[in-house]
Structure 1
Amino acid sequence: MTFHTSIKAALFGLTALALGTAAQADQLADIKAAGKIVTATDMHYAPFDMLNNGKYEGLTKDLFDEVAKELGVEPVYQDIPWTAELPGLEVGKFDIIIAPVTITPDRVERYTFTLPIADASVALIKAAGNTELTKPEDIKGKTVGVQQGTAQARILQTFGESLGGVNVKEYGTTDEAYADLAAGRLDAVTGSLPNLTYLVSNRPETFALFDPPQYGEPSYFAWVLRKGDDSASFAKAINDALLKMTDDGRVKAIQEKWLGSYTELPREVPTN
């Protein structure tokens, strides 16, 4: 065997070994072997994720508790700022983002989404005593708060441009935006309809929905995994669990508990 032949054979062997290792990589198998799923969410996004006297609760937790039971593992819940979640997922700091993430075409290109867990239509709220603003188009020239780095921020920017201009003010959490709206430092706040409906129902003396509250195209929230073949079985297991929970009524019960009503969700992952 010549020197060049030996090098070629060695390189071929290393390539085959790498391909074999990649083929064997399976995130679901690793999770089951560890007996736990490490998650990330922002626990300041009621009614999906919130801290009540230091205890984590909300629609997301109730749903994922049931999913984890179906997979036979324990969930590990971590409170991570939204802006750090997608970068943290990409470098493997956790297995899945369970913060409700809006499905968008550009994100579908980069990440693996589960089936939708809730409606994510974009809406607007104002101060309860504000009679100047009614329909979404009335925010032209006004100052509107939104959580930084969200799909809602991009949709607001686009909508504002179509109106001729809106002063967009971004916040680290929705709670900060709500506080500034209540204090009169904002004219309105935009976010997902479920979040804002929950807020208004709990604080009707402070906040009110626009009429109609929604603007933009319909959208959905889902959970996010890393892209790649190693996450395929993990995503399928979660989707199978969500479909089972939909069919046996658990999803409906959890939605009604936290949102006050039930919205039938797609049984396939939307791609646009």
Structure 2
Amino acid sequence: MLKRYRAAALAALGLAAVCAATVTTLAVAQNKADAALDRVKAAVQKTLGADAPVKSVARTPIPGLYEVGVGGDIIYVDEKAKYVIIGGNLVDTKTRQSLTEASQSELNKVDFAKLPIDRAIKYVKGNGSRKIAVFSDPNCPYCKRFEETLKTSKLDNITVYTLLYPVLGADSDAKAKAIWCAPNRLTAWHDWMLDKKAPPTPAATCNDNGVMQNVALGHELNVTGTPTIILSNGRRLPGAVSAEALEKALAAVK
């Protein structure tokens, strides 16, 4: 009986030794992998300079090619950052999915709960249970097209928080501030975007700091075009997406 217990104990110790060795091997491999990514990051940073901070580095399915997040963009480099692919789109031919778009969406995620909805124009359709925020310029034709989509499509049960983001020039800035200072901001916004009815001249005493703060926030979040739609899960949808595309994106939000 004692021999059997001793054998079992030794076997258990042997198994423990194997497990420990395996864990150690995995840890060493992980450390080497992390060190390799750190080397790539350092090489990219040296190549691009301090004005282009590197946010992330990851391997791609292609040996020797690395995906790098710089600002709000995705680029691809070799291990020594001797060669750089900018503006490329890496696509999985089997799934037909863009790996670049998926990574860029993740890189540019926004914490929806931290968005300043007190500086937004609120529009509710249906029960308003599904929420989006939109950075929008009053002179952007694609923003007007998106407003038309919201009004005329079958999209329902949605709350839209429009953050005025006048980036197309002085007239955009003036119109955004006039809309912000209007007695009814939502009415003034829809009047202009849907019916081309200019907002009333704002009173000299109106505080339009909210518009300027939205512009600063947009720059901070790397919002480079309008409209930029942000779903409640933080994912971005660039441009005047169709009602069908928006409905699909909203349905995918958990």
The question of a shared fold, defined as TM-score above 0.5 by the shorter chain, is answered with: no
**Higher Cα Rg, which structure:** 2
Q: TM-score range by the shorter chain?
A: 0.3 to 0.5
TM-score when normalising by structure 2: 0.32
Which gives a bigger RCO, structure 1 or 2 (Cα 8 Å, sep 6+)?
1
TM-score when normalising by structure 1: 0.31
